[in-house]
A and B are shown apart, each in its own frame.
Chain A
Amino acid sequence: MVALALLGLFAQDPSQQAAAAMQAGRFAEAEKIYRALVKQQPSFAPWHANLGLALHSQKRFTEAIAPLERAMKLGGDARLAQVLAIDYVQAKRWADAAPLLEKQRKFRDAAHAWWQARQYDKARPLYERLEQDFADNPEFNFEYGDLLARIDGAEAALPYLEKAQALLPARAALGKAYVELSRWADAIPHLEAAAPADPDLLLPLSRAYKENGRAADADRALIEYKKRQRPQ
């Protein structure tokens, strides 16, 4: 009888219920309980953390961010920061993800996040540091080349972009770099390859055709480009 009563009490402890639900993979149920617990004890970090984890486990990454941030403010640990970094990345909040990733010494991911956040001055030292390790990695070379094209100019970017030609975005960047350097004939095949996926490239392609003596192709590309630039 006593044992039954204790079991009843135990079963009624919401934190235990939530933990059991988490363990059993019933994340929606756990979420509901943790939401109630957060309301009851808004300054208790574990409830926020577990609510965040319940949402994260349901792949609701964007929603998970607020409770995880709250938990971190209330004293969350490094493991929680790892989950938060993943959620920032999933939510494409690159500028928030990058410093966490850097702190976790995930330098390749941090470089990517800073590059995505367009904070090139922060990304650059990481790419420099990783350059030897990723010398043959097309993604790395594309990102680093793209970064250099933006902050140092086309000349500096070329060696990296040329090594990343397997990637379509790299061909777009390479085509633009050649245009910037007035290497019209070199630009054309890359821009032709990349333009179907990025019609803005029809303009530099038109210029490259024109400068390469292909006036009719230049006109055609320009007309197509203008068609796509009508007011939204």
Chain B
Amino acid sequence: MLALLLLAAEWTVHPLPFTHSSGETARKRLPATMGGGLAVWDFDGDGKLDLFFTNGAGRAPALLRNLGGMKFERLAKSFAGDTDTFGAAVSSEGLALCGLRSLVVYRHDGKRIELDNKKRWSVGAAWFDFDSDGDLDLFVVNYVRYDPATEPECKVDGKPDFCHPRYYDAQPNALFRNDNGTFADVSEESGIAAHLGKGMGVAVADFDGDARLDLFVTNDRMPAFLFHNEGGKFTEIAFEAGVAVPFDGKPVSGMGADTQDFDNDGKPDLVYTALRDETFPLYRNTGAGFEEVTAKTRFGPLARQMAGWGIAFADLDNDGWRDIAVARSDALSNRPEPLSWFRNLEGTGFERRTLPAVPAMYRGLVAADLDGDGCEDLVVSALNAQALVLRNPCANPKGGARRQFLGSTTLGYGSSLWLR
């Protein structure tokens, strides 16, 4: 009987009716490495969380309705004009969709609003109330300046491959203030536009406990940003706070990011993914800044040989401590990897666990309870592969670090925004 119970306590894989297309060709254009952003929310108000996937290769995104019992149907709802999308962010204000040349907000009443992102390549976004006026504003993560006409051709081991980010110029992120449903670009006056980066992921929290939401933004092979909210204006303080680069001073390929309290001290901590041999830097919020604990918690050595994109803190074993789930795969070449999660050993360390999904070019990842059993499942996207749900065996449904779930998104590459 015990053996049967143990057998039942396995993660199970549920393929979804959506297959991503990256549009990769022999020319190896950079946008084909991106994509896979996804969002989770109850779009039809039936009490079950539905799924939204961005798509590349001139194809439209997909909305999947949750039918219950881990069954999903793809809705005919058309996003036909919004092809080549990379990131998505959802909130009570609507769904923000980030593209190579476009930035669009779909309000929940169906209205489509195009925002002027100055033709910049946006890969992720986050909704948050930066000016404390009661409505949600939109922060947009912009990646590199990209022009297909001038894109360099690069080779790895003598074969055409995607170019390293150093071949592309940095550009600023953007901030749009919500003025009763219209969006004003306040990137300049807020101080956000003063910092050039190669943004990939964003995590939002009140990191210093001053009752204002701050922004942590990962950059690809550049120091990360920590935008401290000083009442509607932002100061970039990543170095002062100790989160700009890992302790050895080497900027890493920052990808997805998440913030939650992993050591249960009441303060939001930070983690983000990077590529092979860079580790996934993990920072403990001390209240007066951050302490890098990548090595101390053994999280670094465990992740040393991995490349990661989407990442989420989630209490996957419901023991009251938030674990870390990672969508893995290399960036520039076709090196699939499995999915992993790291079990939190009561805030002092981690142990590595593997999920049953076959290796793929995993990109987006969201943790959410899709079947209402009290445990967070995982939704993952992968380049040129079928999206999956991994159902949590939910061995301990009554425990767990709980929070009210309204919606979660991968912000391009997995950064999650939880709306409380």
Residues of chain A having any CB pair with chain B under 8 Å: 62, 65-66, 91, 93, 96, 118-121, 150-154, 176, 179-180, 200-204, 207, 222, 225-226, 229, 231-232
Contact = CB atoms under 8 A, between A and B. Distances in A.
B196 A153 contact: no
Contact of B249 (A93, A119, A120, A225): A225
B36 interface: no
Contacts of A231: 169-170, 196-198, 222
B10 to A, nearest CB: 25
A201 B295 contact: no
> What is the size category of the interface that chain B forms with chain A?
20 to 34
B225 to A, nearest CB: 12
A207 B245 CA distance: 13
Given A96-B157, A151-B301, 15 more contacts: A93-B157, A118-B276, A120-B304, A152-B301, A176-B247, A180-B295, A200-B248, A200-B251, A202-B249, A204-B249, A225-B249, A231-B170, A231-B196, A231-B197, A231-B198
Contacts of A66: 158
B197 A119 contact: no
B158 A65 contact: yes
Contact of B301 (A150, A179, A201): A150
Interface in B101-152: none
A150 B245 contact: no
Nearest to A119: B305
Contacts of A152: 301
A204 B157 contact: no
A207 B223 CA distance: 16
B153 interface: no
Contact of B247 (A65, A96, A180): A180
B239 interface: yes
B157 A179 contact: no
User: What are the nearest 8 A-B pairs in CB distance?
Assistant: A203-B249, A200-B249, A231-B170, A118-B277, A231-B196, A200-B250, A151-B301, A176-B248
B277 A150 contact: yes
B352 interface: no
Given A118-B277, A150-B301, A150-B304, A201 B157 contact: no
Contacts of A154: 295
Contacts, number: 61
5 contacts: A62-B158, A153-B295, A153-B301, A229-B223, A231-B197
Contact of A204 (B158, B198, B248, B304): B248
A121 B170 contact: no
Contacts of A207: 247
B54 to A, nearest CB: 26
Interface string B158-179: 1000000010011000000000
Contacts of A176: 247-248
A229 B246 CA distance: 13
Nearest to A118: B277
A157 B304 CA distance: 15
Interface in B50-83: none
B158 A121 contact: no
A232 B222 CA distance: 9
A153 B304 CA distance: 11
Given A118-B277, A204-B248, A151 B158 contact: no
Interface in B267-310: 276-277, 295, 298, 301, 304-305
Nearest to A150: B304
Contacts of A204: 247-249
Contacts of B249: 200-204, 225
B239 A222 contact: yes
Contact of A203 (B245, B277, B304): B245
Of A121, A152, A232, most B-chain CB atoms within 10 Å = A232
B248 A203 contact: yes
A207 B298 CA distance: 21
Nearest to B246: A203
Q: Which of B198, B239, B248, B301 has the most CB of A within 10 A?
A: B248
Nearest to A228: B249
A204 B170 CA distance: 25
Contact of A226 (B169, B239, B248): B239
Contacts of A180: 247, 295
Given A118-B277, A204-B248, A226-B239, A232 B170 contact: yes
A140 B276 CA distance: 23
A180 B279 CA distance: 15
Contact of B222 (A62, A118, A229): A229
Interface in B301-359: 301, 304-305
A96 B156 CA distance: 13
A200 B251 CA distance: 8
B305 A120 contact: yes
Contacts of B304: 120, 150-151
Contacts of A229: 222-223, 245, 251
A60 to B, nearest CB: 11
B64 to A, nearest CB: 37
Nearest to A206: B249
Contacts of B295: 153-154, 180
